[in-house]
Each structure stands twice: as C-alpha cells, then as structure tokens.
A and B are shown apart, each in its own frame.
Chain A
C-alpha cells in the first residue's frame, strides 16, 4: 500500500501543469501588495480582501481541475498524409462527467513531445456531450508522423491561470513524399519507354487476340461475321488489351550527407513518377535501396509503393567506389519492363548537382532537371 502510494501520486500529478497568465501575474502582484498592507497595518478589512483574492486563486485551481477531469478524446486521422498538403484531422472531445460542464477548453496536439497549438477551442462542453473539432494538419517531413496525445488547457474560471493536463492518445500516420506534376519532356520520355514489353492480355483494344464462340451477354458488335458465315456458328472476336506495360522504378538510397536535400527531391520525384505510371495502368515494381516490391497494379499496390517511399532512409556511402545504380541492373533485365532510376548521387565525383538525375533504361532523360 505504502509502496503504491507514490506511484499513485505520480499518476495523479504527472500530467498536470499550471502556468500563470499575464492577468494572473497582475492579480498575484496585487494580492501580494494587499497581503503586505494587511500585515503592516493589521487592518482586518485588508485581511478580508486578501482572503477574497486568495480564495479566488484557490477556486480557480479547483474549478479548473474539475473542468479538465474525466474528459475523453479520440482522434481521427486520414490514412495517409502528403508532405505540404493540408489534411483535416478531427478530434472528438467528450465530457464524461455526469453533472458538471467543462468550459473554455484549449486543445494542443502533442507531437514528438512538443505541444503544437492548432487554435482549437471548445467554449463549452456540457455533461455527457461530445464535440467534434477539426483542424488542418500539414506534415513537413515524410516518414512516420508520431502523435502522442492531446494536451488540454483551460483558463476557466477566472483567466488567472492556465491549467493543463495531458491525455494520451497515440497515433501514427505515414507521410508520403510530395507528389508534383511531372514535366512534359520527362513525360514524353516515360511514354515512349516500355512500350515494347507489352504483355498479351484480353481487353479493350484493336489487335486481335482470339476468336471464340458467342456467349450470352457478348457484345453483338463483336461478332466476327466472316467466321460466323464460314462456320455457321456465332463467333466473336476478342481483342488484345492496350497499354499493358511494365516498369521498374529504382531509387538508390546511398548518398552522402551533403546530398540530403537532393535525396528528398529524388524521393518526391520518384513518388510523382510512380503515381503517374500507376494511373496509366503500368504494372510497377519499386526498388528502394535494397528492398524491393513485387510487380503489381491497382491502387492498393500504389499505396504500398508510396508507403515504401515514405519510410525509406538515406544511407551514407561506405566505400569510396560505391557507385549506386549498378548492382540491381541485371535483375531488371530478367523481369523485363522499363527501368527508371532516380539518382540523387552518382558517385564520389558528383558534386552538388541541382537536381536528381532520371534515367530510363540507362539513358538520362533531358529536361528532368525541370521536373522538380
């Protein structure tokens, strides 16, 4: 019991903090002055005023404590954020007290141990009710955004003190790299690339893929009349799907510290290229450093790739001669498809280029410098 007690105390007071507002400072100065006057003169009416001011201080403490107690928060975040793109996060605040309302709640986001003021205010939260507040959340760094909890403060009732308490609600969001529109010339380069490796598949298109017997539900326009006439059986033609292309995007992660900003640019460019290609129906594979995704298609796959980009990290080069971009090359040839590499660092001789280099099947694409 005795051993539990200190921990209980810590539990109670760990997350409380009180700050005196500027009005509070003035108030306390007045209180001090009146206290001195009271002691000096022994005038009981001064003591009465002093007692009033002290009890105001006490009452603010008690009421503020009650205001902050038994609240409940949960936060909703979008699944993904994008760097520099504002998203709306919502907080649901609920007053679980059965009788007492809470007033003037000020909410602060606690992220990485720092309090961030989002200007969130709940003027009044009646007992048993909940309130939805939303704020715009802008992530400035890609990667994992860690949100620890909510710090609630109130200056209620008298605005003399700001009392705060911390409610823990941990959330982690993946922040994607920024996706920017891609430059025209780069676009041309990407479009011309990879067309040879088309995989044969049924679908909309013009090239003949197959002929088969008519089934109910087939489009009557697809009936291949010559064959039908020949075989006196309804035959339809199937066409080959267009734009079935494969591509592998490679982002080397080896770059010296001096290329850090450039690496971030490269990640952003890679993300933009991936999304662009995914929207054009490419089957994509992403290789980031040594990790590699499978070939895939569809939005889920795109999300997976973007997540990889979001969490990738730059590594400093170990050896002097380590030239990135060489070693995975053979593998791509086996898999087929276009290879697009986005390089932020081409080797030790590369001194501070302005932009990452983009290579499609080993050829540097001009105009890539304007892509970012």
Chain B
C-alpha cells in the first residue's frame, strides 16, 4: 500500500476511533451518530477507491464556499444548542465537534485538512475521556494511540515527497526509484507497531509518575448513581424482589486474609429495621451521629452492644470498592468495628450501621474491620428472659393482626425449651416448608406476610426474613430484619467477592442475652440461577471484571496518595521496596497470569471450553505474528527460490554466521560481497578470520558455483561456526 493511501486510511481510522469513543461516552443523538458514521464509511470507501462512491462525491452539490457556510451554520447551531436545546456547554460542544468532523471528512484534500481532522479527533477523545471512566475507554485509547502513531508517522513520511515533487520535476527516473520506498513494507509495519508499543510503555511510565496536584476523589460525578432499594428509612415488603434479576455490579470486596473460608458466602450488612407494620419495615433507631476518628484515620464505631465483654468473635478485614449508589450506607460484614477510608466523616446509627454523610457520586474505596458475635455456650440452654423496656419496644414489636402468626410460632416452637433451640426450630421450619421463588407478587396484597405463610408458601428472602422476625417476636425473642448483600460470587482471578444488585438480600439478627446480636438466615439457597451460560463465560466475565477493577484502581482512581505511598515505600528502603514494586506489578498482571493458569486448569479438567479455545487461538495468533515479525519467513522464501535444496544448509549456515558477526559488532554492509566481507572481518577480528573464510568459501561454492557441499564439508563448516560462537571477541 502506498504511503499516501495508508495515511488516508490511518486518518479515517483515527477519526473513527475518537468518534466511537465519543459515541460510547456521550450518548450522541442518533441522527448525529448515524450521520458521522455514514461520513466515516463514505470517506473509507472513497479511500478504497470505489468508483461509484467517487462519482457520487464528485457530484456533490456543495462548493468550498458552501462548506464554509455549513461551518458557520454549524457554529450558529452550536449556540442555539447550548442556549436552548441541550442547555449545556459540553454536549453542545460535542455536537458541534461531530459536525465539524463530518465537514472535514468530506473535504480531505490538503494536508491542512488532515491536521484539522487530527485536532478534531484529539478534542473528541479528550471529551470522551471527560465523560467516562469505564473500561471500554482503555481499548479505545489503545486503538487511538496506535492510529495516532501510524498517522503521525505517515504524515511525516509523506510530507517531503510532496514538497520536493513540486520543486524538481526533472528526474522521472528518480521518482520511479523512490516510488518503491514509499510503500508500506513489512518492515515498516513492524516499525510502526513497535513505535506504538514503545509509546504505550512510555505512556504508562509517564502516567504513573506525573505528579498529581489535585486530589482525584471528589471529582465531578459521572453519569447517574445506581438505584438501589432496601436501604432507606422505610422498606416495603417485596421491594427487593425486582432487583434480584439485575446483574450490575454494586461493589467488590477483598478479604485481607485471602480466600474466603466459608463456602456459603459473605453477608454484607447494610441497614437494620426494627418496626414492621404489616406491610413495610421502618427503622426507628435511624438517628445518626458522627463517629469519632482515632489518630490513624480510622473511624471506630463504639456502638458495640454485645453483652459479651470478651472480644471472642472472628474478625474479618475487608477492602470494599463501592460503586456510586443512591444510598449513603457503608456495607460491610457484621459487625463493623472500624472503618477507614478517604471520608471527611462517618456516621452510625443505633443498630450498628455505618453511613456516609451523603451518597457518594463516585466510586469509593474503604476498609473495614468487622467482628462477628459467636454464640456463647451460656446461650445454648438459656430460657427466654426479660429485656429492658426500650429494648422490647423496638425489637419485640409486632403489628396488630398477627394472631395466626403467633399461633404458628407457638406450634413450631412448643417442643423446644431453650431460646436458641426455638430460633433454630423456626429457621428450619421456614427453610424446609416454603419454596423460594422470585415470582411472588406479594407486594400488592394487604397482608403479604400471612399470604406467604399460609396460602402461597412461596416467596423470597424478604418474606422468609420477615416471617422469621415476626415469629421470633411472637414467642418473645428479640429480633430484627437486616438488609444488605449476600456475596457468593468469588472472583478467583482478582481474589475478591463480586457483589451485584441481584445479590441483595434480607436476613435476621437475633438477640441472645449473652452473645448479643447473631446473624440467622432462614432463606434456603436459591435454586434459580440467573445466568444459564456456560461456566467458561462466567469465568470470562469474572476475568473481565478483574481487568475492569484494575483499570479502575490503577488508572481511574490513581491519585497523589498512591504516588505518595510508592514514594514512601521506596524511602522505606531497599529490598522490601523492590519486592513491593514487584508485587504491585504482580497485581497488575495477576489477571493475565491467572488467566494462563486458568486455561491450564480447564485443559486438565477436561473441560476444554470455548474460553480456552478463544484464548488459545488468540495466543497462537499472537505467537504467529511475533514469529512473522522476528523470522521474516518471506525473506527466506525469496532467498530459497534461488537456491536448490542441497545448498540450503550451507546458505543458512552462512546466514547464521553473518547474524552472529553482526551481534559481535561486525555487520555486513549490503554492498560488500562475500570475500570482501571476509577481509573486513579479518581486519577487525583476527581470530575469527580463518573460520569465517572457510565458511564463506564453502558458501560461495554452493551459492554461486552450484557445487553442493558434501556431508563432511558441511559438518566441518558447522564445526567452524561453533568455534566462532565460542570464540571471545577481544
């Protein structure tokens, strides 16, 4: 492909990349997106030299002046757009940018036009960057970088011929000779891609080292917060149900102690509710007060109302990356002791839930130290006891019409004496006698709980939990409803729990006199799997999510604090810093390493799935391209055409010798014939002279004299080459 055509192609590619970036990020109006896309396709087809398109373009009714007029109209449209239609500068500007791009695409004639197109595409990719933080920006950015390098390179290389052709029209011979230079050769292809790769590497280095002046936390919110339900002051029964099918990611939870020890998932507690009016839960203890910050920047929640003085419970350390939600609740495993993160303040209420002062509009990261309350032996046999009035008011409250429930509860528990046994009896009753189903339109009914318990006998977590709380309360055991998420999806590539909207859950906390609040879940494990895809796709999804997380952590969220941390660790000293650096590099590449490991696992397990196939194909393709780039088999094929099979070994041997000498600093100039090169070698490396001479002699005889070397001669030559390889150059 000649350079100028390649340049046009690369330019259109550059423009399309930035357009795609903008279209993904900004939500362009359909007509504008379609128009720009059409313009890009037309420009591409024109470049390919489609005659019909060319003819069409030639008959375009618009003169240069007309195009200029269009630009002016577009500019006026921009003002109209900004003042009345969109009402904002950014979208209006983007629309105007796209219109400019369309006009330029139809007007690519002079080099100046190309420059304008590049400027437009740069602004577009910039605008796209300001509108998004999603992972798709990474491939777009990479494509843009590749296209940019190609375009700049070609733009530079085509620059001079145009100028000089105007100056010297004399030499037709010379222009013919130079025409072959202006082609995209394989070497050029690899050169350009290598440059792009080097640029990318350097980009990463610069990106991580450029000092961040502004703290990147409270940046302007992007997009809208995710709507969640079940975490406000009041929750209607049945509210969680509809979101149980939503697979969007809410948060990611890393466990400080590595992999999870429980197979049944991790409860992430959100809000607790104490009052039920027959249809909705309310939190009457929702009064929030600020939590004090201790010296180390962590917020310590004092409201640990556990009766057990000894800190016996299991502690869980979690790092939580929370997506922007419409609730200020900070989720964590029960029960929160310390929260640390980049917050100005943290609030908590009496039920032990933690809140931010207001919902965050961007992704936040915080770490929590939680401690669960174990069931103490003293509680295993204790009778129901009396509780203070304030306590009973909140946690023994029952709505008015619940006699049937009370009777049912008595029936279930009359055989048991101890409180703990009663609790267990109710839990197993619920777990075994009811069906879990998301298709339970109980919310519309007047008495959803009775409906669930006595007629339908199907429901989901909310119903189970509500029923259990009510039954416990009717038999005099304090309990409350808790909403949150039940994390079950463990991402083995990134070592974290992936929590989605569909993991929203409700469960029960029961108060035992000695142990305090303990977590109970009456809901049986769901048999409905939401996504019925193959495990390979799941694995791929988890991998993608890990990449997304790393992207977010290392690119979007990268901040001055991270830089400071790196600097601090470097200061801390020698080997540890190096290890840390290696570690952080490791985490960056972990998903890929894990991916490789994963493939191996799949292969060994015999489940050679589509994932392995896809990845395998990709790897093979990559390896093939690498091999192509390094070995250049076409060159060999060309050389091979001129030599017969017998001469091939010695010709290859000679090639290896030339390569070895080049590595030793004696490279063969293209214009020096074999014997001259032997003399050159002898001058510069006396010891090698004889070996080089004898190999060259054999080569010359085979290559130019058509005298095939004998086996003995060949082995002798190989010996010479080995000797040469072993020889140390002074």
Which residues on A are within 8 Å of B, measured CB to CB? 23, 26, 30, 34, 37, 39-52, 54-56, 58-59, 63, 94, 97-99, 101, 103-104, 106, 119, 121, 123-124, 126-130, 155-160
Contacts and interface: CB of A to CB of B under 8 A. Distances in A.
Interface stretch (B152-160, B462-470, B484-492, B601-609): B152-160
A104 B559 CA distance: 41
A119 B670 contact: no
A49 B216 contact: no
Interface of B: 115, 119, 122, 125-126, 129-130, 132-133, 137, 141, 145, 148-149, 152-153, 155-157, 159-161, 164, 167-168, 178, 181-182, 187, 191, 195, 198-200, 202-207, 210, 212-216, 219-220, 555-559, 662, 665, 667-671
Contacts of B203: 48, 51-52, 54-55
A155 B149 CA distance: 14
Contacts of A127: 667
Nearest to B220: A41
A60 to B, nearest CB: 9
A54 B206 contact: yes
Contacts of B215: 42
Contact of B129 (A40, A45, A99, A119): A45
Contacts of A99: 662, 667
Contacts of A40: 214
Given A49-B129, A124-B181, A127-B667, A59 B156 contact: no
A302 to B, nearest CB: 32
A42 B159 contact: no
16 contacts: A26-B119, A34-B126, A39-B213, A39-B214, A42-B213, A44-B556, A45-B133, A46-B129, A51-B205, A52-B199, A55-B203, A56-B199, A119-B167, A129-B671, A157-B152, A158-B152
A123 B160 contact: yes
Contacts of A103: 157
Contacts of A37: 126
Contact of A129 (B126, B155, B212, B669): B669
- Please list the 3 inter-chain residue pairs (A to B) with the smallest Cβ-Cβ separation, ordered nearest first: A159-B156, A98-B667, A55-B202
Contacts of B200: 55
Question: Most chain-B Cβ atoms within 10 A of its Cβ — which of A23, A40, A42, A127?
Answer: A42
B126 A104 contact: no
Nearest to A55: B202
Chain B interface secondary structure, helix, strand, loop or mixed? helix
B199 A156 contact: no
Question: Most chain-B Cβ atoms within 10 A of its Cβ — which of A49, A54, A101?
Answer: A49
Contact of A44 (B178, B191, B557): B557
A157 B153 CA distance: 5
B439 to A, nearest CB: 43
A46 to B, nearest CB: 6
A59 B199 CA distance: 7
Given A48-B129, A48-B141, A104-B157, A157 B195 contact: yes
A123 B556 contact: no
Contacts of A43: 129-130, 216, 219
A46 B125 CA distance: 10
B11 to A, nearest CB: 14
A42 B214 contact: yes
B555 A59 contact: no
A141 to B, nearest CB: 25
Contacts of A106: 160
A296 B156 CA distance: 58
Contacts of B149: 56, 158
A360 B167 CA distance: 48
A159 B163 CA distance: 14
A47 B160 contact: no
B632 to A, nearest CB: 13
A44 B119 CA distance: 21
A37 B127 CA distance: 11
A26 B181 contact: no
A35 B717 CA distance: 60
A91 B487 CA distance: 74
B210 A47 contact: yes
A130 B145 contact: no
B567 to A, nearest CB: 17
A56 B129 contact: no
A51 B191 CA distance: 21
A158 B7 CA distance: 13
B219 A42 contact: yes
Contacts of A59: 195, 198-199, 202
Contacts of A41: 130, 214, 219-220
Nearest to A157: B153
Contacts of B115: 23, 26
A104 B130 contact: no
Contact of B159 (A44, A56, A159): A159
A101 to B, nearest CB: 8
Contacts of B168: 119
Contacts of B145: 52
A55 B206 contact: yes
Contact of B207 (A47, A101, A104, A129): A47
Contact of A128 (B133, B198, B669): B669
A276 to B, nearest CB: 33
Contact of B665 (A52, A98, A104, A130): A98
A51 B133 contact: no
A81 B191 CA distance: 43
Contacts of B133: 45
Given A44-B557, A119-B168, A56 B148 contact: yes
Given A23-B115, A119-B167, A123-B161, A158 B130 contact: no
Contact of A123 (B157, B198, B667): B157
Nearest to A42: B214
Question: Most chain-B Cβ atoms within 10 A of its Cβ — which of A40, A126, A130, A158?
Answer: A158
A106 B161 CA distance: 12
A104 to B, nearest CB: 6
B558 A44 contact: yes
